[in-house]
């Protein structure tokens, strides 16, 4: 409740402004949430920032499918929302296992990630949660999750040096310091030798980091958009310039960070926009690494719906011409050749300003890594990236028996 009160105070509200619901009343609350967004106009407040905050208690060791209130829902969306409202928010998930990435033809690093919430206020067109989400569900028993889940996971994962506190479709640092997740997370990490925690953000809210205990255990990761992209397809998120200024502040604080241009969306004029972005990043800040990922995980039909009239005509024609080839592929909607063209351009722009900073491609295919490895200048099996589990500040790789390399293998060797 102290955590709730801190967050309310930051909003200029008190407990008297909160509607309290019981677990028995949760289905009614979920039905009410379906009517979001509200009809009333709030001048100066982006609609994404009007999403209600649902304060709940994360359940530990319980499964939503075992709860009759959840399993009896007759619609998938209601079932999911009710699970979150009742606190069935996974505190830890495993991503990018070797077998899974092999099946999806994706190159990354296996990792345990933590989360205390679901939902986001940014509203980005490429994110289903951001675009269509109706609320933010926040687990408020952070101290309990830290002791009962985060600590034991760190102890059981001796192969992992760095852990993301990322939430699920969330941007946790946008709610700090009042939420207090990172204060608890970093304090727990500090109990162990050589253990670090990532934030992953589109936000520019970093002033609180100056005062957070154990900030020496923190590594920042930004998803950075070009100025045009931030303006046109990331409503509710800060401008590119604001995020770059936040990075500069971390440099002053001595907190390391990495940059991902992810997703890179080829809007009309994208080359000029991203060239300007890269120049600003590398002239104003000192990231440890910088990486790229073209827009993926999106069928052509969704691209046409969400980005109507915004995509570079050459890329849109290529996506339409390869629709059958790319259907159901992880790396849709743009075909391989167009993505490779984009990465070559971005790598060349970085090298104009910094010939030495490690660059990488994020969650791309084995074939793309094999082709671009000479230009990237890193080995696909053991590359420095943005948020891998064995890359402490430096950046440096501290591989272990459990995580001896990335999920890459030579596509010619099946």
DSSP state letters, 196-254: EEEEEES----GGGGGSTTGGGEEEEEE---HHHHHHH-TTSPPHHHHHHHHHHHHHHT
Q: Specify the number of domains making up the chain.
A: 1
pLDDT value for 70: 94
Strand order in the sheet with 359-361: 92-95, 111-114, 162-165, 196-201, 218-223, 257-264, 290-294, 359-361
No. of helices (H) and no. of strands (E), the chain: 17, 11
Look at residue 51 and tell me if it is in a domain: yes
pLDDT value for 19: 94
* CA pair distance 296, 339, nearest whole angstrom: 10
Low-confidence ranges of the chain (pLDDT < 70): 414
Q: Is 27 helix (H, G, I), strand (E, B) or coil?
A: helix
* CA pair distance 292, 290, nearest whole angstrom: 7
Look at residue 414 and tell me if it is in a domain: no
CB contact at 8 A, 294 and 361: no
* CA pair distance 332, 348, nearest whole angstrom: 24
How does pLDDT run across 202-249, given as a tens digit for each residue? 999 999 999 999 999 999 999 999 999 999 999 999 999 999 999 999
- Residue 97: CA count within 13 A, CB half-sphere: 5
pLDDT value for 26: 94
Q: Residue 160's domain is classified under what CATH number?
A: 3.80.30.30
Look at residue 280 and tell me if it is in a domain: yes
pLDDT value for 414: 63
Look at residue 125 and tell me if it is in a domain: yes
pLDDT value for 413: 81
Angstrom distances, CA of residue 330 to CA of 94, 106, 231, 335, 363: 18, 8, 26, 11, 10
- Where do we find the tokens 């304090």? 187
CB contact at 8 A, 214 and 40: no
CB contact at 8 A, 257 and 288: yes
**Which H or E element spans position 290?**
strand 290-294
pLDDT value for 92: 97
> Tokens at residue 188, please?
């727990």
Which residue(s) pair with 139 in the sheet? 56
Look at residue 413 and tell me if it is in a domain: no
**DSSP calls for 90-126:** -SEEEE--HHHHHHHT-----EEEE-SEE--SS--TT
* CA pair distance 172, 277, nearest whole angstrom: 24
**Which H or E element spans position 137?**
strand 136-139
Closest Cα partner for 380 from 402, 400, 360?
360
Angstrom distances, CA of residue 409 to CA of 37, 101, 373, 376, 391: 46, 10, 13, 17, 20
Range of the domain at 331: 2-376
Look at residue 354 and tell me if it is in a domain: yes
Look at residue 403 and tell me if it is in a domain: no
* CA pair distance 172, 52, nearest whole angstrom: 15
- Determine the straight-line distance between the first and last CA of the chain, rounded to whole angstroms: 55
Q: What are phi and psi of 311, to 5 degrees?
A: -80, 140
pTM score, whole prediction:
0.96
Look at residue 383 and tell me if it is in a domain: no
């Amino acid at each position: 409740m102290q955590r709730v009160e801190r967050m309310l105070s930051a909003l200029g509200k008190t407990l008297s402004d909160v509607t309290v619901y019981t677990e028995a009343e949760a289905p009614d609350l979920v039905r009410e949430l379906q009517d979001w967004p509200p009809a009333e106009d709030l001048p100066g407040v982006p609609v994404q920032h009007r999403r209600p905050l649902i304060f709940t208690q994360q359940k530990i060791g319980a499964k939503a499918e075992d709860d009759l209130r959840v399993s009896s829902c007759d619609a998938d969306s209601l079932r999911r929302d009710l699970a979150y409202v009742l606190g069935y928010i996974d505190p830890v998930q495993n991503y990018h296992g070797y077998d899974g990435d092999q099946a999806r033809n994706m190159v990354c690093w296996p990792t345990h990630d933590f989360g205390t919430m679901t939902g986001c206020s940014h509203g980005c067109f490429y994110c289903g949660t951001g675009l269509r989400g109706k609320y933010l569900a926040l687990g408020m028993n952070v101290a309990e999750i830290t002791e009962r889940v985060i600590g034991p996971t760190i102890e059981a994962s001796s192969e992992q040096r760095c852990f993301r506190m990322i939430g699920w479709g969330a941007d946790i640092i946008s709610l700090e310091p009042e939420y207090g997740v990172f204060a608890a997370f970093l304090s727990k990490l500090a109990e162990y030798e050589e253990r670090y925690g990532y934030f992953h953000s589109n936000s520019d809210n970093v002033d609180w980091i100056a005062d957070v205990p154990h900030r020496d255990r923190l590594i920042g990761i930004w998803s950075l958009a070009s100025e045009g992209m931030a303006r046109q397809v990331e409503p509710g998120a800060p401008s590119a310039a604001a995020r770059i200024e936040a990075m500069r502040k971390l440099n002053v604080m001595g907190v390391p960070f990495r940059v991902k241009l992810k997703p890179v969306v080829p809007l009309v004029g994208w080359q000029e926009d991203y060239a300007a972005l890269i120049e600003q990043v590398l002239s104003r800040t000192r990231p440890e690494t910088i990486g790229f990922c073209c827009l993926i995980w999106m069928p052509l039909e969704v691209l046409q719906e969400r980005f109507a009239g915004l995509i570079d005509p050459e890329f849109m024609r290529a996506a339409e011409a390869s629709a059958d080839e790319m259907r159901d592929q992880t790396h849709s909607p743009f075909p391989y050749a167009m993505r490779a063209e984009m990465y070559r351009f971005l790598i060349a722009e970085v090298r104009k300003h910094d010939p030495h900073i490690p660059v990488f491609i994020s969650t791309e295919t084995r074939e793309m890594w094999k082709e671009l490895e000479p230009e990237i200048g890193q080995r696909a099996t053991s590359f420095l990236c943005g948020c891998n589990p064995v890359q402490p500040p430096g950046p440096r790789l501290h591989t272990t028996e459990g995580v001896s390399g990335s999920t890459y293998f030579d596509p010619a060797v099946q």
